[in-house]
Amino acid sequence: MAKNNNEWTLKVMALLKAGNAQAAIGQIKVAPTVGDLRRLQAALLAPGAPRLKNVDEVVADQIVALSAPRLHRSP
């Protein structure tokens, strides 16, 4: 299962590296879990990762939104 979660992060990172920030933001807004968002956040901090302030803000906002106990995504 960890491999599937890692695949989501890799796909979003591929979108960002290709310069398609809007598609990446769309994927971030429908992220499956907070864990996926945290992995993406860590990947964005890695050396060589694209530096996009608006993407960092969307990731942080989505982590806060999905961390709320009443908000969750159905499987």
Q: At CA 27, angle to CA 47 and CA 60, rounded to 5?
A: 60
Residues 48 and 45: their CA atoms lie apart, in Å, by 9
**Is the pLDDT confidence value at 74 over 80?**
no
Confidence of residue 10 (pLDDT cuts 50, 70, 90): very high
For 62, other C-beta atoms within 10 Å of its C-beta total: 20
**Is the pLDDT confidence value at 36 over 50?**
yes
> Residue 52 has what pLDDT?
83
Which is higher by pLDDT, 63 or 68?
Answer: 63
And the tokens for 13? 């990172």
> Residue 48 has what pLDDT?
83
Decide if 31 contacts 7 (C-beta within 8 A).
no
What is the C-alpha radius of gyration for the chain, rounded to an integer number of angstroms?
A: 12
Q: If you average pLDDT over every residue of the chain, what do you get?
A: 85
